[in-house]
Amino acid sequence: MNHLKDKVQSIQAAAHKPAILVIGDLMVDHYIWGNATRLSPEAPVPIVNVKNETTTLGGAGNVVQNLVSLGAKVIVAGVIGNDQAAGELIKILTDEGVETDTIIKDNDRPTTVKTRVVVGSHQLVRVDREVTDEVSEPIANELISKLNSHIDGADMVLLSDYNKGLFSPFLTQGIIKAANAKGKKVIIDPKGLNYEKYKGAFIIKPNRKELSEAAKTEKINSIESLQQAGKVIFEQTGTQYIVVTLSEEGMVILSEQDHTSLPVKATEVFDVTGAGDTVLATMAYFMAGGLSIEDSCELANHAAAIVIRRVGSATTTVDEIVEDILKSAAN
């Protein structure tokens, strides 16, 4: 394990910070925290007395925060509304030191906001404000032309698809072709059933459920069934690797000829919220720093182990990952 620690520390010591371009469905997670001691006389529902409200980044924003926490230079692109939530989203990103000039405001759609009303530790209701129709071609073209100069400066291009309408086949293919033409690797966190639109990606990173749905296979419960499902996706997309996250069982790296299993590093699992975003960010960060896909996934496993011990969408740092490597080597 020490060789891994040395490689990680050399990336930390390098003058060049890995530069990552994140394109994705950006959203706002809005929390209303309160007390509820009585039922409403109008309907059989609790009355919530609001004590506090907080706003954080959701969706692809969680990938961005993970990358910032690791120390990457991040540029973020996407389409949001022209509304108050858009202003909040841009402010949070700017405060994080992230470049936002490739985020386009579309007057025809709202910024996706998920509002959760939480009493004690209990979520009462979630209210979503969003439009998930595909972005229009003029907006897609505007985004692609804005991205061109940023792809040049990126070590890695990340697509974080939350199925909110950004990644139409037209836009997805436009981005992948532009990146490939400049020799930049594209890593995708996929959603939905149409993986054909990801043709030309370097890595696609589904979880087990997403893979079995996209490959239209029965339950994936063995390495053979995993490889069978992978075969379908390789045929559809021509991707080099499929990295499948298996929650408490770790992850598997599939190539057309081979597979590598990486058992999980977590000893206890508290909350898997956002762990997939941490895996995506960590893999991309270390690959952009020059590490192999196997080493990067091994490190992503350590990062996932750290964040799932924390409640809610969490992030980790390179120092914590090094500490986790040393701790598991000692056990």
User: Higher pLDDT residue, 5 or 112?
Assistant: 112
Q: What stretches of the chain adopt beta strand conformation (E)?
A: 19-24, 26-39, 46-59, 73-80, 99-105, 112-119, 122-129, 156-160, 186-189, 203-204, 241-245, 251-254, 259-262
Residue 265 has pLDDT above 70, yes or no: no
- Looking at residue 314, its pLDDT comes to 82
Query: pLDDT category, 167, cuts 50, 70, 90?
Result: very high
pLDDT > 70: what percent of the chain? 96
Reported as a single tens digit per residue, the pLDDT across 181-213 is 999 999 999 999 999 999 999 999 999 999 999
Q: Give the pair of three-digit tokens for residue 204.
A: 């696609």
Reported as a single tens digit per residue, the pLDDT across 279-331 is 999 999 999 999 999 999 999 999 988 888 877 768 999 999 999 888 887 77
At residue 229, φ and ψ (nearest 5 deg) are: -65, -40
Query: pLDDT category, 178, cuts 50, 70, 90?
Result: very high
pLDDT > 90: what percent of the chain? 78
- Looking at residue 308, its pLDDT comes to 82
Residue 272 has pLDDT above 70, yes or no: no
Average pLDDT over residues 27-38: 95
Q: CB–CB of 52/112 below 8 Å?
A: no
At residue 201, φ and ψ (nearest 5 deg) are: -70, 155
The residues annotated as belonging to the active site are 277
Reported as a single tens digit per residue, the pLDDT across 41-73 is 999 999 999 999 999 999 999 999 999 999 999
Query: pLDDT category, 1, cuts 50, 70, 90?
Result: low
Contacts of 278 (CB under 8 A, 6+ apart): 66, 300, 303, 304, 307, 314, 315, 316
